[in-house]
Chain A
């Protein structure tokens, strides 16, 4: 790996480290909570992929719009949803970011630009394209961002959304987290083209493949693409090559469809320990700096679980609220 660019400040680097570790510790705690029955529904963790959400969202403002997938806890946290809100949502509590209506696959916090995770593969690509359409029409410099996995790449939404965004030069960023498996189906078995980034050529937009476990690479690449989108240059497709080191969903098997050696090889390239090592080796931060952040996050995450545990259940009297907008002009 190249040295960390000199222009990245210590604050920026530690913020990246803090964000990745927050996601990791939250996810590990959510996995434990799932195993102990505190989380009743699905739980797809982002462990191993933290560098991507972290590196991209570091450039985003609250009024930029992120559209995510079933593996979306990391995107929500990186976009500014708190560990309390995410954890409470998975517990099904009224204080969750979706007030208990969504769970893991429906995390919403539009007040910070988290426009939803989704239980369906593909729609996020189209919706981020639509956000780009809005932001262009409204003459703002806001952008839409879609995070999606390799499983979405063979889906029609990938083709349809990217085609529209490229055609109209929309301010949209398409971030493919290629973790090699869609559920347990290998990407290599799903398509005749093992690459994602080179598909951009079919739509005449820039496509770039990077190491998705290198948060610096993600940060630098996303920064350039986002700057380009904000200034009217149109969309970019970024393929982040990565790996989830936990099962597809909690409660499922680790292997069977992938070897123990393969899993270990990716654990050896863990994005968080990689960054920590580089920071210390290149004397950009001290071990004490990192230890202080580690301790801070231990407390942050413990607090999130306590909060979720102590929070009230949603009132069942509210269950039919919000099917339609409140006070809508069309109501008779």
Chain B
């Protein structure tokens, strides 16, 4: 099968959906003729024109609020933040307006809007270009939150997002967007709320998010040589969250470790742990453990930056520790 990058997969999905649905338009800094800072819209301006590929001034609250109104009145906006950290300037519009509009209108308004941007620690991007934020959005009613890892998942989930009538945050880890993977030519969609089992195993379940999926799979290869069998699950969406797949896995392995690059406190790992303990307590042979990044802003300097996120030895140690319990 052909291989393309994560970002090429989302570009393909966007172009296909824009051809299919004339109400889709994109706003973003550089999303017009320039094709996006991360090539999110390369070539689309020439096909779909300036009204559907709209360069915007640096006015996040403004264009998010504008797109909220647009989504209420018959079009389907895609907001490209470049770096998701910039979304924080628009939080009032998102939390008080976008996320609540369908409820407040008793379902008579729809809110078909896709918000995308790069997340995550890496590349000495420093603290204003390295945030994650998915746990924060998952906490709030009204948002769907997608955190794909592979090119295949990125395309299928992106297409689903563009057909959803709900606000969807499509969060792209900057260390993953250039990763290549197999993507079929023919159309497919991946529903939200379906986790992917990336590796089958019987001794322990790891739920990993974004960059931690690949790192964990690397560690699992090594551990397999010692006969340690680890199951790895990528939730792919954190809202909705597929707890059933995790529970089914824990039923077989008896042990759960959640590995997440970002903060532990009030994070998605805490939610997964709570739900598994609540619904699967009798299946657990050991406490649920979490391995997270440090609860600090993201530093710039390479050794400092590396020290705030779990690395391969940390993951290996966490797995060994939990197996020993």
Question: A residues bordering B, Cβ < 8 Å?
Answer: 65, 67, 98-99, 101-102, 106, 108, 110-111, 115-116, 118-120, 122-123, 125-131, 133-138, 142, 144, 156-157, 159-161, 163-164, 167, 321-326, 328-332
Residues on B with beta carbons closer than 8 Å to the beta carbon of A101? 103-104, 106
**25 A-B interface contacts by CB (under 8 A):** A65-B69, A98-B104, A106-B104, A115-B72, A116-B104, A120-B97, A123-B92, A123-B96, A126-B64, A126-B68, A128-B69, A129-B66, A130-B68, A133-B25, A134-B73, A160-B62, A322-B105, A322-B106, A322-B107, A323-B141, A324-B166, A329-B165, A330-B161, A330-B191, A331-B191
B residues near A163, Cβ cutoff 8 Å: 57, 59, 62
Interface residues in B35-74 by Cβ distance below 8 A to A read 51-52, 56-57, 59, 61-74
A332 CA to B195 CA in the complex, in Å? 10
Number of A-B contacts (CB under 8 A): 176
A127-B72 contact, Cβ under 8 Å, with A98-B104, A163-B59: yes
The answer to whether B52 and A157 have CB atoms under 8 Å apart is no
Q: For A126, give the chain B residue with the smallest CB separation.
A: B65
Q: How far is the CA of A214 from the CA of B161 in the complex (A)?
A: 48
Residue of A nearest to B76 (CB): A134
Contact between A323 and B142, CB atoms less than 8 A apart: yes
Shortest Cβ distance from residue A260 to the other chain B in the assembled complex, whole angstroms: 37
**Residues of chain A within 8 A of B103, CB atoms compared:** 101, 322-323
Most chain-A CB neighbours within 10 Å: which of B25, B61, B74, B105? B105
How far is A305 from B198 in the complex, measured between Cα atoms in Å? Answer: 61
Residues of B contacting A329 in the complex (Cβ-Cβ under 8 angstroms): 160, 163-165
What are the residues of chain A within 8 A of B108 when measuring CB–CB? 108, 110-111
Q: Chain A CB within 10 Å — which of B69, B74, B192 has the most?
A: B69
Tell me whether B168 is interfacial, beta carbon within 8 Å. Answer: yes
B75 on the interface (CB 8 Å rule)? Answer: yes
Give the distance in Å from the alpha carbon of A118 to the alpha carbon of B101 in the complex: 10
Interface residues of B in 86-104 (CB under 8 A from A): 92-93, 96-97, 101-104
State which of B73, B92, B164 has its C-beta within 8 Å of the C-beta of A131: B73
Q: Which residues of A lie under 8 Å from residue B194 when comparing CB positions?
A: 332
Q: How far is the CA of A33 from the CA of B164 in the complex (A)?
A: 41
> A123 is contacted by which of B25, B59, B97, B144 (Cβ under 8 Å)?
B97
- Smallest CB separation, A13 vs chain B (Å): 32
CB of B65 within 8 A of CB of A108, answer no
Tell me which residues across on chain B come within 8 A of A324, comparing CB atoms.
102, 142, 144, 166
- B311 CB within 8 Å of chain A: no
Query: What sequence of 0s and 1s flags, for each residue 209-234 of chain B, a beta carbon within 8 Å of any chain A beta carbon?
Result: 00000000000000000000000000
B293 interface contact, C-beta 8 A? no
**A161 and B56 alpha carbons, distance in the complex (Å):** 12
Q: How far is the CB of A160 from chain B (nearest CB, A)?
A: 3
Given A135, A161, A325, which contacts B65 in the complex, CB threshold below 8 Å? A161
What CA separation (Å) do A136 and B240 show in the bound complex? 34
B242 within 8 A of A: yes
Complex Cα distance, B75 from A211, in Å, reads: 36
Q: What total of chain B residues lie within 8 Å of the partner, measured CB to CB?
A: 54
| Contact yes or no, B75 A161, CB < 8 A | no
Please tell me which one of the listed residues A118, A122, A123, A133 contacts residue B75 in the complex, with CB atoms under 8 A apart: A133
Asked if B107 contacts A326 (CB within 8 A), the reply is yes
Assess whether A134 is in contact with B97, with CB atoms less than 8 Å apart.
no
On whether the beta carbons of A138 and B104 are closer than 8 Å, the reply is no
Q: Closest Cβ of chain B: how far from A323's Cβ, in Å?
A: 5
Q: Is the CB of B193 within 8 A of A133?
A: no
Instruction: Verify B66–A127 contact, CB threshold 8 A.
Output: yes
| A164-B63 contact given A144-B73, A325-B102, A331-B192, CB 8 Å threshold | yes
Are B69 and A330 in touch, CB under 8 angstroms? no
A125: B residues at CB distance < 8 A: 65
User: A328 to B162, alpha carbons, bound, how many Å?
Assistant: 11
Interface assignment of B290: CB less than 8 Å from any CB of chain A: no
A116, B191: Cβ atoms closer than 8 Å = no
Q: Is B110 an interface residue (CB 8 A)?
A: yes
- In the complex, the answer to whether A129 meets B69 with C-beta atoms within 8 Å is yes
User: What chain A residues lie within 8 Å of B144 (beta carbons)?
Assistant: 324, 330
Residues from chain A with a CB closer than 8 A to the CB of B110 are 325
Interface pair A102/B191, CB less than 8 Å apart: no
- Determine the chain A residues whose CB is within 8 A of the CB of B74 once the complex forms: 134, 138
Residues of chain A within 8 A of B317, CB atoms compared: none
Whether the pair B192, A332 counts as a contact (CB closer than 8 A) is yes
Judged by a CB distance under 8 angstroms, whether B109 is at the interface is yes
The proximity string for B residues 161-175 relative to A, scoring 1 for CB distances below 8 Å and 0 otherwise, is 101111010000000
Alpha-carbon distance A133/B69, docked complex (angstroms): 9
B307: interface (CB < 8 Å): no
